[in-house]
Amino acid sequence: RTLSNAAQALNITPSNELCWERQLGGTAFSRTFRVKVPRVPGRRGTDRVAIKMVDVALVARARGVSDVRVWKAFLADVALVNSLPPKCDRILGYERLTTNPERTHLYLWKRLGGISLASYAFSEERQILQATKFQRFTYLMHRYILQLAQALAAIHAEGLAHGSVRLENAVLDLGGLNGNSSVQASPHGGDEASPPANILLTDALVGRNISFDTMNRTAYWPKEMFDGVSGSKLSATHCVKATQEADCFQLGLLIVELITSRRLTEVSLAPLAFQPQKLQELTRAVQGMCPVAIACATSLLSDDLRPRSLTKRATAADVAGKLKVFVEAHKMHRTYCPAAVGKEEDAAAAAAAAAAAAAGPVVDGAGGKRK
């Protein structure tokens, strides 16, 4: 710690060092921690960030390649991920990169401005919202899913794949409520007119990067990720590349978990792609709660669940397009986002005026011109 660039930049001393508060997720190959760090010189107190620690040496051994090759691959991946937020503000990139003196670990820093969607999905607050204010609940659920689909569609538009579309990798950005990233507020605002939090999709990988930490999450794998499995045995050597199709399948499962407020691993630890009847039971139970979101989920899932009119799995862009219409037409949208509604109306009026101008003057029945 005392020899790293991060320690020097933050003026860390033995009495003022990084405080690793808790592990947020990951495996031996890559772990993410919530870390308390001292603020920059001149500011008192501490800030909380998330640091993704990649064991470069371990990944290199697992892949059977040199450490240098792994370093270059991860740096290229980070550069690609950081090019995405300017194109879509729903994607969270990495703010800085550091390493230990031995260069065996790479630390990817990102800001921590809210709570994970997983924490919110299973919280008492969400349960109360569903039970007492159904209109707000259904609007917010569709709004959150829309923003996730938009972020994922932006990643796919670049020919990349996220690799791990899960509730834990989506953040409710509470900083958007009042510009203060440290605000501790309700995800849906304190009153009816308060703007809701926005979704930030994080922890993106690129399609050419092989994921090593999915073996304990086979319940969330689509059928195509099991291609090449010998018999019924799945071994650690069965590593698969992240694909856009797998992202879309995982987005469908994420929607089911968010709406039902139930972990799918509680339903079954076996791959759900091969158990469509269990997914059908779950989606049928909440069909009346959020029908549009459930319709989107089924269009993203296996062949056994998709409507007969769909011959192939829907894309994130398809889902975003369908939900955008629903969200913007919802009566709560005007309450929560009056500025956005005003801009939409101004844009529509401008488009109508431009179309009228292009059509030329209107001629009345007497042969005169009306302005």
What pLDDT score does 367 carry? 54
CA-to-CA distance for 173 and 52, rounded, in angstroms?
Answer: 19
What pLDDT score does 98 carry? 86
What pLDDT score does 52 carry? 87
Using alpha carbons, list the distances in angstroms from residue 125 to 119, 177, 185, 196, 331: 10, 18, 12, 14, 22
Highest mean pLDDT among 15-19, 41-45, 46-50, 203-207: 46-50
Angle at 244 between CA 240 and CA 247, to 5 degrees: 85
What pLDDT score does 318 carry? 95
What pLDDT score does 296 carry? 93
Q: What is the pTM of this model?
A: 0.79
Neighbours of 103 (CB within 10 A): 12
- Region 233-237 average pLDDT: 59
Query: Lowest mean pLDDT: which of 7-21, 162-176, 180-194, 312-326?
Result: 180-194
CA-to-CA distance for 365 and 371, rounded, in angstroms?
Answer: 14
Q: What is the pLDDT of residues 30-51, one digit of tens each?
A: 888 888 777 666 656 667 788 8
